[in-house]
Each structure stands twice: as C-alpha cells, then as structure tokens.
C-alpha cells in the first residue's frame, strides 16, 4: 500500500486514523496500513473487543481506556492522551493514534496532537474513518442536501445562544450528558434534559417526534432507533453514544424576492443569446431538490 510522503524537519511522525464505528468493516486500507507499519499504536476506541482487534494488527497497542474515570475531567484525560503520543514522537518513532469513528469528529485530542506535533517540526496528519454521522444518515435515511442539517454538541447548544432552523434536521450529539459543565460525568439526569426540552419547545411542539440513535459498534448488533415525543425526552434511557435527531417541524418557505431577482437575471441572459438547442454535454439541469421545492419562473 502506497502511503503519502510525510515531509518534516525532525525525525518522528504521527498519523491519527479512524477505525470507523462497526468493528472491522469501516476502517480504510490506508489506515490499516499505517497501524501495521507503526512503531507504537495508541487506541482510543469504544470497547475492549476493538482493542483486541487492533492488537491482531500490531504487537504494541496502548489503550487510552484507563485514563477515563468518573469524576475526572475529560480535559485532563485528553491532555494525558496528547502527552503520551507526543512523548513517543519526540523519541523519533512512527506513532499512530487509532480513534473510534472519524478521529476528527467531536474529538479534541486528535486535532490538538497534530497541531502540536507540526509546531515542533514533526510530520503529522489525519486519515478519516466512518463516523457515527455517516451511519446515522445511512440508517435513518436522512439526506442533508434535502432540507439541510444542523449539528450541535448538546451542552454547547444549551450554554450558548444558537439559532435553530426548524425547517431543517437538527442533530444533537452527546445528549446523554446534556448540561454537564464539569467534563467529569458520564451521564446527567432528567432535570438537565428538562432544561433542554425548554429550549427546544421554542421551535418545536412538545408532541413533535424525535429520534434517539446509537450506531452499532459490533457486526452482530442492531442500531438503536427509538422514536418518541419531545415531551418524553427527560425520562428516556441514554448513554455517551446516544444522539438525538429532531426532524423538521415546518416546511421550507420560498424567498420570493430572491427568486424574482434570479428569474430576471435568467430572462436577461436568455434575451441576449441566440436561440439554439441546449447541448447535452453542457446543459446543467436543476437538482432534484430544486425541482421538488423551488420553481423559478422568469418575470415579464
């Protein structure tokens, strides 16, 4: 497997790879090659089975799992991850950090260790993996191009004033720890999610159906897809993997002013061109979503 060359001024390198969500089936051949050819592999994955699978590819796999503990700030854990990986890079080793899902999606340590390694002159880059978002779109049949899709980390959405568009999908990540400011808890209770519901009812009715989703991490598992009214959210069972999807509550509204301006531009362009049949290789039709939701009629 040909790997991209890593240019750096200092010996030692780090590659952060994604192992994907479902064991064995989501990792790319290139990421697997980096793991197999590393000097040391660090594992930030979801379960012990995945760690054992990584150890089949490399004899020196070091788990980040012992760094987590109830009551311990995850900021401290992330800093320990970064320090451990950089220590090996500084010794001139080829280091791989193998992280669950896509290593750049809702993950602080992978981005930060690459930033710090590059600042010190080491070669560093990231290889993508299949994320929970990819699984979510596939299994729930949500095309973000249809009406749009908004992603928020749940606590950040609660802590800051964010604009919500109820005509698009809303995806709230890590809803199981909604409202946690300590970064040291693995779950928050119903009272925290009641505050979340108070925010959401500004845009959605209490009987609006939402979806709790968890992607399967093992091939024999099924995805969790639980549908419930927004009002039932505080009592629902959740964990760190739970994601909430809020489907649109209202239809798209045409921006007639803009559509009229675009139609006028189109009409002027057509008036200044000789009439001819469009060429198949140059004609660009509207997308299916434009056809489905917007019809542009030239103004007179």
What are the strands of the beta sheet with 224-229, ordered from one edge?
149-153, 169-173, 243-246, 209-214, 224-229
Instruction: Give the integer Cα–Cα distance in Å for 191 and 253.
Output: 35
**Please, which contacts does 137-141 make with residues 24 or more away whose CB atoms are closer than 8 Å?**
139/213, 139/215, 139/223, 139/225, 140/211, 140/213, 140/225, 140/245
In order of 31, 117, 127, 141, the CA distances from 4 in angstroms are 12, 17, 11, 34
Residue 90, Cα to own-chain centre: how many angstroms? 30
Q: What would the two tokens of residue 232 be?
A: 């039932």
Residues contacting residue 178 through CB under 8 Å, at least 6 positions apart? 154, 155, 158, 172, 188, 192, 193, 195, 196
Residue numbers annotated as active site = 74, 78, 100
Residues contacting residue 71 through CB under 8 Å, at least 6 positions apart? 184, 185
């Amino acid at each position: 497997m040909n790997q991209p060359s890593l240019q750096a001024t200092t010996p030692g390198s780090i590659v952060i790879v994604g192992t994907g969500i479902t064991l064995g089936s989501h990792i790319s051949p290139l990421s697997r090659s980096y793991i197999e050819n590393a000097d040391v592999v660090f594992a930030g994955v979801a379960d012990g089975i995945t760690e054992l699978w990584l150890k089949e590819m490399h004899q020196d796999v070091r788990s980040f799992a012992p760094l987590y503990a109830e009551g311990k700030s995850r900021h401290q854990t992330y800093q320990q991850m970064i320090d451990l990986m950089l220590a090996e890079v500084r010794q001139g080793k080829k280091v791989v950090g193998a992280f669950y899902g896509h290593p750049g999606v809702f993950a602080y340590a992978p981005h930060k260790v690459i930033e710090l390694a590059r600042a010190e002159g080491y070669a560093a880059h990231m290889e993508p993996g299949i994320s929970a978002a990819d699984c979510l779109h596939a299994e729930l049949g949500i095309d973000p191009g249809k009406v749009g899709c908004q992603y928020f980390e749940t606590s950040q959405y609660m802590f800051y004033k964010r604009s919500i568009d109820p005509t698009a999908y809303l995806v709230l990540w890590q809803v199981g720890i909604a409202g946690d400011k300590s970064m040291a808890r693995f779950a928050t209770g119903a009272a925290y999610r009641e505050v979340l519901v108070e925010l959401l009812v500004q845009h959605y009715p209490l009987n609006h159906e939402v979806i709790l989703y968890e992607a399967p991490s093992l091939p024999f598992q099924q995805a969790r897809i639980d549908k419930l009214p927004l009002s039932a959210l505080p009592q629902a069972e959740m964990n760190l993997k739970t994601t909430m999807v809020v489907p649109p509550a209202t239809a798209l509204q045409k921006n007639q002013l803009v559509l009229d301006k675009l139609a006028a531009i189109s009409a002027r362009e057509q008036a200044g061109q000789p009439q001819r049949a469009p060429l198949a290789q140059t004609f660009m039709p509207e997308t299916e979503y434009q056809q489905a939701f917007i019809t542009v009629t030239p103004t007179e």
